[in-house]
Amino acid sequence: MTRELCCPVCGAKTNTSGARFVSEWALASHVAGSIRGGERLHISWAKHNAPNIDLKQSVPRLAEDLMWPIKEAGDSPNQSPTPTVRDAPPAIDVVTAAKLGEWRRHIVQLVGALDPTGRRPDEGVAARIGRLSREGKIPRQIVAMMRTVTETRNLAEYESKVLSATESQAVSAAYAAVQEWASTVNMPFGEGR
């Protein structure tokens, strides 16, 4: 009997070309490829489950090193000991650093549009948002939402923070609130994507 192989990190049963994982090697290559491609969920999994493995080596070497930790994760006791076809875990829409970077750009553009001539030399986006709030151009609750997006982006970008599902929902909601406010004051938002 063959067990259907499924990624212990993201629950995928197929590689990016849609082919099912025919071997543990194919599955390990998927995890290694995702790590080398910068996918944060798989990187974070490897850091926790295989802390001694060099994540910067080539995909085949990395896949070779990951075979055992992946097999161990697949064989963990909280899973059925008999070969079964398991359903993939529910997909978690994790907000990536790239997405946060895009959202931050939209906020920077919005702030620029609200304050076309006012920028002081060397004034960062956080300081500028604070000043516009004091000048009454951005309501305080929207300032809080903007900061949620920009500060979360900084953590993801500079400290490689991987967001949990709940944190992803929170920052998505904050971004949506900024977007909604921009439309109520007729400011363009998220253009030039």
Q: Which residues bind Zn ion (CB under 5 A)?
A: 7, 9-10, 12
Q: How far is the CB of 27 from Zn ion (least distance, A)?
A: 8
Residues paired with 14 in a beta bridge = 20
- Among residues 87 and 122, whose Cβ is nearest to Zn ion? 87
Q: How far is the CB of 146 from Zn ion (least distance, A)?
A: 33
How many angstroms from the chain centroid is the CA of residue 113? 28
Distance spanning both ends of the chain, measured CA to CA: 49
Q: How far is the CB of 6 from Zn ion (least distance, A)?
A: 9
Q: How far is the CB of 34 from Zn ion (least distance, A)?
A: 5
- Among residues 12 and 50, whose Cβ is nearest to Zn ion? 12
- Among residues 9 and 46, whose Cβ is nearest to Zn ion? 9
Q: How far is the CB of 11 from Zn ion (least distance, A)?
A: 7
- Among residues 10 and 171, whose Cβ is nearest to Zn ion? 10
How far apart, in whole angstroms, are the C-alpha atoms of residue 33 and residue 122? 40
Give the residue closest to Zn ion by C-beta: 7
- Among residues 12 and 146, whose Cβ is nearest to Zn ion? 12
How many angstroms from the chain centroid is the CA of residue 1? 36
